[in-house]
Amino acid sequence: MKPIQVTQSSMPSFEEYVAEIKDIWESRWLTNMGDKHKQLESQLAHYLNTPNVTLFTNGHLALESTVAAFNLTGEVITTPFTFASTTHAIVRNGLTPVFCDIHAEDYTIDVSKLEPLITEKTSAILPVHVYGNICNVREIETIAKKYHLKVIYDAAHAFGVTVDGEGVANFGDASMFSFHATKVFHTIEGGAVTYRESNLRKTLNEIKNFGITGPESVDIIGGNAKMNEFQAAMGICNLRNINREILRRKAVAERYLENLKDVKGIKLVQRQKGVKSNYAYFPVLFEDYKMSRDEVYALLKEHHIHARKYFYPLTNSLDCYQDRFEPGETPVANYIAERVLTLPLYPDLPIEDVDRICQMIIEGDPRERDHFLFSDKRENELIL
């Protein structure tokens, strides 16, 4: 049987992409904020319903550049239940991450534990919207105002999500979106920052282009993080099809939900009130289930179904941070990371495959079941 990956990139038709890149051949303008780049930036501002968007060559550099743009100092409060990128973006800017635990229900930062972590060295909060679940943005804003802290969201998972009708890009001082090939919306590799103050645009554009401000002037020590025209063209095509793709994801997610919602020992993420999801991931928590998360993962893998232990390990226990952080400080995050598995989810995933995956999780190894059906000898040994 054909292997099932945890995700599969959305693609426009070959013809649609070729038609989009034809202009690039004619103009010979391949990168450095060309027409496609400009077009995508304004289309995204429209789609995300937000005034300020700056594109980057990937989500990580978008985040790292944003942290740099705010000239932060000292400590940044964040969570370890995320991709390595979030923590690296803080550390690579010479700042110290301080890890706050997560909420047991939606896996975002537990705001009730946030205030005690604030010291005179704290300059910002960098929370993560996880799997499309949105952080408690109102409470975070209140705390940030009280202590004069910047808020930068890692919104890599939250493209197009709305909260009470408000686009998620409008919360905090800035939000980073990843347009990596595995994300709901992608530009092959790519990313963007959305932000409240429009004067940040100049700084971000300088940081992503060596700090160049004119033919003979380099103002700041920037890097290179520009999105090229072929990436932007892919984005323009994918954005045309995004609503349909999200609806197809929804159908897959709803089938999983229907199949798994009443299974004892399996916990599914509760839908958040007022949040319109993008169905980016389907996380399942194996809590007192007859199989452990690792056993389910191994069983699926044996049958060429590739689920993902996401997020595991926590970023505060990554090898590169050995002896620097104390993973014991975030017990809820530890608990979730040991038990969570994200199941394959992408727009083209056939419903029959969803059923097959769920059946395997519920009933165990199908080969064992076949033995049960066809061999009298094994019948007595197996307890189903």
The binding site for ligand PLP (CB under 6 A) comprises 58-60, 82-83, 85-86, 128, 154, 156-157, 178, 180, 191
Q: Which lies closer to ligand PLP via its Cβ, residue 81 or residue 289? A: 81
State the nearest-atom distance from the C-beta of 109 to ligand PLP, in Å: 13
Q: Which lies closer to ligand PLP via its Cβ, residue 193 or residue 357? A: 193
Q: Which entry of 36, 150, 183, 208 is annotated as an active-site residue? A: 183
Q: Which lies closer to ligand PLP via its Cβ, residue 37 or residue 157? A: 157
Q: Which two tokens stand for residue 192?
A: 């963007």
Q: Mark whether 183 is an active-site residue.
A: yes
CA dihedral for 267, 165, 124, 53, sign (positive or negative)? positive
State the nearest-atom distance from the C-beta of 203 to ligand PLP, in Å: 20
Say if CB 235 and CB 48 are below 8 A apart: no
Q: Computed over its alpha carbons, how large is the radius of gyration of the chain?
A: 22
CA dihedral for 259, 295, 267, 178, sign (positive or negative)? negative
125 in helix, strand or coil? strand
State the nearest-atom distance from the C-beta of 150 to ligand PLP, in Å: 18
Q: Please give the residue whose beta carbon sits closest to ligand PLP in the complex.
A: 59
State the nearest-atom distance from the C-beta of 51 to ligand PLP, in Å: 23
Q: Which lies closer to ligand PLP via its Cβ, residue 341 or residue 361? A: 341
- The angle formed by the CA atoms of residues 229, 230 and 233, to the nearest 5 degrees, is 85
Say if CB 225 and CB 67 are below 8 A apart: no
Picking from 266, 372, 373, the residue whose alpha carbon sits closest to that of residue 381 is 372
- Residue with token string 């179904």: 305
Q: Which residues are catalytic?
A: 183
